[in-house]
Amino acid sequence: MKTINSEHHLDLTQEDEKHYSTLNLGPTHPATHGIFQNVLMMNGETIVGAEQTIGYIHRAFEKIAERRPYYQITTLTDRLNYCSSPINNIGWHLAVEKLLGVETSKRVDYMRIIVMELARIADHLVCNSVIGVDSGALTGFVYVFQEREKIYEIYEELCGARLTTNLGRVGGFDRDFSPAAIQKIKALMKRLPKVLHEFENLLMRNRIFMDRTINVGGISAERALNYSFSGPNLRAAGVDYDVRVQEPYSSYNDFDFVVPVGQNGDTYDRFCVRETEMWESIKLINNALDNLPEGKFYTDVPAFNLPPKQDVYSKMEPLISHFKMVMGEIDVPKKEIYSAVEGGNGELGFYVVSDGGRTPYRLHFRRPGFIYYQAFPEMITGSSLSDAILTMSSMNVIAGELDA
């Protein structure tokens, strides 16, 4: 019974094993929302220990990145946290800009804020509605997924893709917001508050939902910091650490927004923090749209400004320079940087070591999901299986981010 997974190292005596049973949750369990395995040691209904196995979709991104020029790495970042890929894309572009020493214009910054906050809303919508599904309330999920669809339509308008967006370029964007895109964002911003209100009415003060989530899977602020939690999970525990405020990037300091914090770090607090963050994101998008400065949608970085697509298809020189940029004939300064953005799940960091060549010498992704998921056994020990499922969905563990 013990050797289901050779990795688990629960110290159990023969006597213990008579009473306990092993339960495999995953790798392809519908409640894990991704491919990773939890081996739970159960005493009846109670969890006495757990061990995780991850790496089922490991794609060696860090190794691949050592061979790829900078533009080709954007597509790898898409596939980290695929619920909010535009944040990863822009986070990567910001890292490259830091490496090159490029200052972006206000218009670019504000456009980026709009896109990143849209992605954050999409990410939080998935997470929060899935908490509802896992506690038995499917309605809210179906309801808000309609709005997520609208966000994906905006992505389509901005870059042509929906899930793995490859959005933006080093220095800005590949094209300006089209009138249709702006109109779609405005329409969404009008609709979304109503939908969010209704979604919150379904769950926030719902007796059953509260009973299922309050004091479930809690973690103290001290433990959360010790585990290097970040993002909504850390803020739910009561620590107001947000990269957008602590180290403002992309002109976030021009805007006034609230960083919500919880108290108990439990599932309900995580839910509420994400809800509030969505409201703040709506505020940010509206503000950025209203104050969007005139100007160019890109910053001049000659070595990285891709020529317009229609020229690439019809003229020789743009075609050549496009090819050279994408295949990476540009040497990047010899430097070492750490650049972080507030991703959907927390501090998404890029540690880049450049040796002056066309590819990074070393690239490390600080993936928030990978770091906080290791606290899962501590958070569920002593609770029941159904609570463990809720804890997992409220932590928003994304397999792509976990495995890189």
Partner 1 sequence: MEYTILLQELKNKFEDKILSVDESADIFTLTVSSEAIKPIISYLKEQQSFIYLTDLCGIHYPEQEKELGVIYHLHNLVANKRIRLKTFVSKAHPQIDSIVSLFSGANWMERETFDFYGVDFVGHPNLIRILNVEYMDYHPMRKEYPLEDATRLDKDDRFFGR
Residues that bind partner 1 (CB under 8 A): 6-7, 9, 54-55, 58, 60, 62-64, 66-67, 98, 223, 225-229, 239, 241, 246-247, 324, 327-329, 335-338, 340, 347, 349, 351, 353, 358, 362, 364, 366, 370-375, 378, 403-404
Q: How far is the CB of 160 from partner 1 (least distance, A)?
A: 26
Q: How far is the CB of 338 from partner 1 (least distance, A)?
A: 6
Instruction: Report the residue number, 379 or 388, with the smaller CB distance to partner 1.
Output: 379
Which has the closest alpha carbon to 290: 193, 186, 154? 186
Q: Which two tokens stand for residue 281?
A: 């994101």
Q: How far is the CB of 389 from partner 1 (least distance, A)?
A: 22
Q: How far is CA 221 from CA 116, 126, 184, 240, in A?
A: 27, 25, 39, 10
Q: How far is the CB of 206 from partner 1 (least distance, A)?
A: 34
Instruction: Report the residue number, 133 or 245, with the smaller CB distance to partner 1.
Output: 245
Instruction: Report the residue number, 45 or 336, with the smaller CB distance to partner 1.
Output: 336
Q: How far is CA 365 from CA 81, 84, 348, 369, in A?
A: 11, 15, 7, 11
Q: How far is the CB of 358 from partner 1 (least distance, A)?
A: 8
Count other C-beta atoms under 10 Å from residue 178's C-beta: 11
Which has the closest alpha carbon to 224: 211, 233, 215, 216? 233
How far apart (Å, rounded) are the C-alpha atoms in residues 5 and 39? 8
How far apart (Å, rounded) are the C-alpha atoms in residues 331 and 356? 6
How far apart (Å, rounded) are the C-alpha atoms in residues 67 and 62? 9
Burial 304-333 (b: 16+ CB within 10 A, else e): bbbeeeeebeeeeebeebbeebeebebebe
Q: How far is the CB of 374 from partner 1 (least distance, A)?
A: 5
- Element at 335 (helix H, strand E): strand 335-342
Instruction: Report the residue number, 292 or 337, with the smaller CB distance to partner 1.
Output: 337
How far apart (Å, rounded) are the C-alpha atoms in residues 76 and 73? 5
Q: How far is the CB of 152 from partner 1 (least distance, A)?
A: 29
Instruction: Report the residue number, 110 or 370, with the smaller CB distance to partner 1.
Output: 370
Q: How far is the CB of 87 from partner 1 (least distance, A)?
A: 18
Cis peptide bond upstream of 260, omega within 30: no
Instruction: Report the residue number, 163 or 327, with the smaller CB distance to partner 1.
Output: 327
Instruction: Report the residue number, 198 or 331, with the smaller CB distance to partner 1.
Output: 331
Residue type, 53: T
Q: How far is CA 208 from CA 66, 214, 268, in A?
A: 50, 10, 12
One DSSP character per residue, 54-73 reads --TT---HHHHHTTS-HHHH
Q: How far is the CB of 363 from partner 1 (least distance, A)?
A: 10
